[in-house]
Amino acid sequence: MAVEPLRVACIGMGWWSDVLADAIKRSGKLKIVACFTRSEEKRDKFAAKYSCRAAPGYEAILADPEIEAIINTTPNDVHLETTRAAAAHGKHVFLDKPIANTVSDGRKITEVCREAGIVLALGYQRRRENHFRWIKRQIDDGVFGKLVNAEANISRDRLGKIDLSSWRYQASGMPGGVMLQIGIHYADVLDYLIGPIKAVSGRFAQLVLPGDNPDVASLVFEHENGALSTLNASYASASEYYLMNIYGKEATAYYDLHRGLSLIKRGENRPVDVPCEKNDTFVEELEEFAAAVRSNSQPEVGGDYATSSLAVIRAGILSAREGRRVTVAEILEKD
């Protein structure tokens, strides 16, 4: 028997809302029935593009019995308000990362969803990329032996491309700048592949872009298993670039955006290319959300993990500010 598409409403009409809406169209397992943002022009444009209703207010969406779930791409600092309201009306929530700007808000978001018995899923699509799934399988199968180190870089060119009126590029709306906005994706991948992060040392800089937020950031992670990793994030680079190298006692994996994935084992002279077909990570995470709603199960990335992931970045921000090593536990206790 065919499963009815999950009926969703999109709130927060920015460029990322279109990214997820396009993925919903590619999937067919979800259906956009309504949308809302405070700008009438933006919501009417979105409604026309995705053949859905433009709701006059968020309250109308919450009161609509046809709508089962919310796709939430609102600013970080209203995630708690919008998710709490959704939970109170029994609407499931797919929330773009980060879960919030503070750990306390992340915890509250997780709690209200758990108490209401609704599914909360967070958009961490990078870990789903086939090359990282392949590396994870090799790690779990013991191919790498003891994991010792990793290095990651996630960089984009934003020179002349940012809107300083957008919350995404303001310190108040996106504390930590580039590291919270895109670096958190590769912090997540490092946690996924190497293991939980227990302490962070960080440095942030503003070198090229205008505004009040860091456009370059570097973090050193101490993982619970003893391994060390480094993460660099930049909006001040000449081009887009992604790097993830995972070093084990018995094998090393090299991934970069232009060369793909390769693996070298102990005793070998050169790495061997590993073909990995590109997968649609946005569709995968949204379909997992829909399946979790239908089966009353938990998605891969929920509120508890997303709150810990946020704490890692908050630890890096505090480390850079105070010039000291900061444990994730300290942030989870105080932030």
pLDDT, tens digit, for every residue of 154-178?
A: 999 988 888 888 888 888 889 999 9
Segment 267-308, tens digit of pLDDT: 999 999 999 999 999 999 999 999 999 998 999 999 999 999
Residues 225 and 322 in one domain: yes
User: What 3-state DSSP class applies to 273?
Assistant: strand
Q: Which domain holds residue 95?
A: 6-124+283-300
Residues 89 and 157 in one domain: no
Residues 187 and 287 in one domain: no
Residue 327 has pLDDT above 90, yes or no: yes
Residues 161 and 253 in one domain: yes
Q: How many Cβ atoms are within 10 Å of 178's Cβ, its own excluded? A: 28
List the beta bridge partners of residue 247: 149, 252
pLDDT confidence bin for 188, thresholds 50/70/90: very high
Average pLDDT, the chain: 96
Tell me what pLDDT residue 2 has.
67
Q: How many domains does the chain have?
A: 2
Q: How many Cβ atoms are within 10 Å of 15's Cβ, its own excluded? A: 9
Q: Which of 281, 293, 5, 4 is nearest to 121 (CA)?
A: 293
Tell me what pLDDT residue 198 has.
98
The answer for 135, left when phi > 0, alpha when psi is -120 to 50, beta otherwise, is: alpha
CATH number of 195's domain: 3.30.360.10
Residues 119 and 224 in one domain: no
> Quick check: 32 and 92 in contact, CB under 8 A?
no
Segment 17-26, tens digit of pLDDT: 999 999 999 9
CA-CA distances (angstroms) from residue 329 to 175, 275, 310? 19, 39, 12
CATH number of 78's domain: 3.40.50.720
Residues 98 and 200 in one domain: no
Tell me what pLDDT residue 1 has.
60
Q: Which of 23, 13, 86 is nearest to 288 (CA)?
A: 23
Residues 50 and 164 in one domain: no
Segment 65-83, tens digit of pLDDT: 999 999 999 999 999 999 9
Q: Distance between CA atoms of 201 and 134, rounded to whole angstroms?
A: 29
Residues 56 and 141 in one domain: no
Residues 86 and 178 in one domain: no
Tell me what pLDDT residue 319 has.
98
Segment 103-156, tens digit of pLDDT: 999 999 999 999 999 999 999 999 999 999 999 999 999 999 999 999 999 999
Q: Is residue 1 part of a domain?
A: no
Residues 204 and 326 in one domain: yes
pLDDT confidence bin for 6, thresholds 50/70/90: very high
Summarize the confidence of residues 203-215 as an average pLDDT: 93
Residue 313 has pLDDT above 80, yes or no: yes
Between 212 and 330, the more confident residue is 330
Summarize the confidence of residues 310-327 as an average pLDDT: 98
